[in-house]
Structure 1
Amino acid sequence: MASTFARLLSDSRRALFTMLGIQAVIWSVQVVNWLDDYDLSREYGLRGERMEDLPEMFTMPFLHFSWDHIVANSWPLFVLGFLAAYRGMRKFLLASLVITVSGGLLVWLLESPNTVTAGASGMVYGYLGYVVLRGVLDRNLLDAVVGLGVAAVYWTILIGVLPIAHGVSWLGHLGGLIGGLAAAVLLRDPKTAKTAKTADTADTVRPASAPAPAPSPGSPNAALLKELDDLGL
């Protein structure tokens, strides 16, 4: 128990410093971007259907178009990123990769080539989906409580995956959310997955009813049973 708590504390510390580092990078890029009249966002944001722009799916989460834009993304990114990372950095990095690729590909495939998409909101939606579904799949009490808390606090932002708000990349939101859910499935605890699979595929074995023992010849009911047998009863 003590070793488990120590590991959780160590992973949480790494998650905290990781998210602080990511925030530092995003805000530093924002300062440079602002001074350059947001040319970085226009240059390294993602445009749909252009093969040469496909690698920009990895740069667009670090770029924003205004101070309001980065402020709106920073707090949920920090909270949800930390909750996605506190159970281990390896899974966090893999989940981040799945979310980035999923959100980027959906934008690249379906967004207009004349539209530049940038911002960390796709990662926010991805971490949201990952944290909530992980709590369900891993059957871990702490993860389940965290997932329920996240769902209760952030469920209202799910409206952002619908094409109803002007100037908002709902495709990036939807792609990120899909990536987060996929990452939760792909990175689920192997012990839990094995247990569930065993429970689903195991055959239920029931012992067959043993035949009634034949009465011994000396039994008082032997004669009666013999007569009933002769009568076919």
Structure 2
Amino acid sequence: MGLKDRFAGRARAGLATMAAVTVVLYVIEAVNMATAGLLTADFGIRPRDPSSLPDIATAPLVHDASSWNHLLANTLPLVVFGFLAFLAGLRQFLTAVALSWISSGIGVWLFGGSAFGPPTVTVGASGVIFGLFGFLLVRGFLNRSWGQVLLAVVLFLAYGSVLLGVLPTVGRGISWQAHLFGLVGGVLAAVFWGEAISPCKGSPR
């Protein structure tokens, strides 16, 4: 299979994957809204609560049940960043998602909320989104791909302002911890794959 055909195949698979992910998220949100936030309460992360550790695996799938705004705000960047990461190959995409997902969840569980305030519950795919963004920004510099560097520059110009979301001053009700640690996870994924492909100057499938 030629390079052009392989790229086209990845593009089709990436679009199908992100379309399926989007449908799943909207179905979950509809159920969450219909049950008045039951999924948020049951599957969101409650910081430093040992019983909530399994919720690290589920929190990114759930969004605020009070309106569609939370999920709507996350949809476009998730689809764009997810699709672009998928073009690098399924294994790189899954690595970036997994490390962003886990790192974001652990960061929220350890440092989310306030030790002196009321209990908080964190949900949403923002941590994964920041992780995919970090992956796309860093990987080209690590594996010396000028095409990926150019893409990183374009993405930074278009979306760079969202990086302010990693600051504690981002705003009330927004988990900067999820953003920051998700970003860290994405950068770690880029470092991993940069190390994996740089010796042979190739591109893994």
Superposed pair shares fold, TM > 0.5: yes
Distance 2:130 2:168 in 1: 15
Asked if the contact 1:106/1:172 (under 8 Å) is kept, the reply is: yes
Amino acid at match of 1:12: A
Gaps of 5+ in 2: none
1:46 aligns to what SS in structure 2? coil
Asked if the contact 1:14/1:89 (under 8 Å) is kept, the reply is: no
In the superposition, the TM-score normalised over structure 1's length comes to 0.79
Gaps of 5+ in 1: 196-233
1:168 aligns to what SS in structure 2? coil
Amino acid at match of 2:35: D
Question: 1:141 Cα deviation (Å)?
Answer: 2.9
The residue number in structure 2 matching 1:38 is 37
Question: 1:95 Cα deviation (Å)?
Answer: 1.4
The 5 Å alignment of 1:63-212 reads 63-65=62-64, 66-112=67-113, 114-164=119-169, 165-188=171-194, 190-193=196-199
1:187 aligns to what SS in structure 2? helix
2:198 aligns to what SS in structure 1? helix
Question: 1:191 Cα deviation (Å)?
Answer: 3.9
Distance 1:151 1:116 in 2: 30
1:61 aligns with 2:76: no
Asked if the contact 1:12/1:87 (under 8 Å) is kept, the reply is: no
> How many percent identity over aligned positions?
36
Equivalent pairs, count = 194
* Greater alpha carbon shift after TM alignment, 51-60 vs 140-149: 140-149
Question: 1:194 Cα deviation (Å)?
Answer: 5.9
2:156 aligns to what SS in structure 1? helix
In the superposition, the TM-score normalised over structure 2's length comes to 0.90
Q: Which has the larger radius of gyration?
A: 1
Return the structure number with greater relative CO, CA threshold 8 A, min gap 6. Answer: 2
How large is the Cα RMSD of the aligned pairs? 1.5
